[in-house]
Amino acid sequence: MTLIDYLTVVLLLAGAIFFFAGTVGLLRFPDVYTRLHALTKADNVGLGLMVVALAIQAESWAAVGKLLLIWLLVMLAGASVAHLVARGALRRGIRPWKQ
C-alpha cells in the first residue's frame, strides 16, 4: 500500500465516523429540527471526506470533476431539503425541542 492508499483509508474512516454520528443523531435526537441538524453533517462533511478519499484514487481529472460535482449537488440538495423540511414542520406548528 502506498501513502495515497493509507490517506484514502483514513479519509474513508473519518467519513464513516461522520455518517455513523449522523445516523445515531437521527435515531436518538428528540425532535425533527435536531435530527435534521445531525443528518446534514453526514451529508456534507461525511460525503465530502469520502469524495476526497475517492478523488485521490481517481485515474483521470474527469472522474475527480464528476465526484466533486456529486458532492456539490448533494450539499445543495441536502441543505435545501433540510430547510424545506424544517420550514414545513414549523408551519405545521411543531415547536422546537426545549429541554
Residues 6+ apart with CB under 8 A from 61: none
From the list 1-9, 30-38, 52-60, 69-77, the region that binds other proteins by CB under 8 A is 69-77
Number of residues that bind other proteins (CB under 8 A): 7
Answer for which of 83, 90, 94, 96 binds other proteins (CB under 8 A) is 83
45 neighbors 18 (Cβ within 8 angstroms): yes
Is residue 31 near other proteins by the rule CB under 8 A?
no
45 neighbors 64 (Cβ within 8 angstroms): no
Considering only the C-alpha atoms of the chain, give the largest distance between any 2 of them, rounded to a whole number of Å. 55
Residue 99: DSSP 8-state: -
Is residue 63 near other proteins by the rule CB under 8 A?
no
Is residue 84 near other proteins by the rule CB under 8 A?
yes
Q: Residues in the site for other proteins, rule: CB under 8 A?
A: 73, 76-77, 80, 83-84, 87
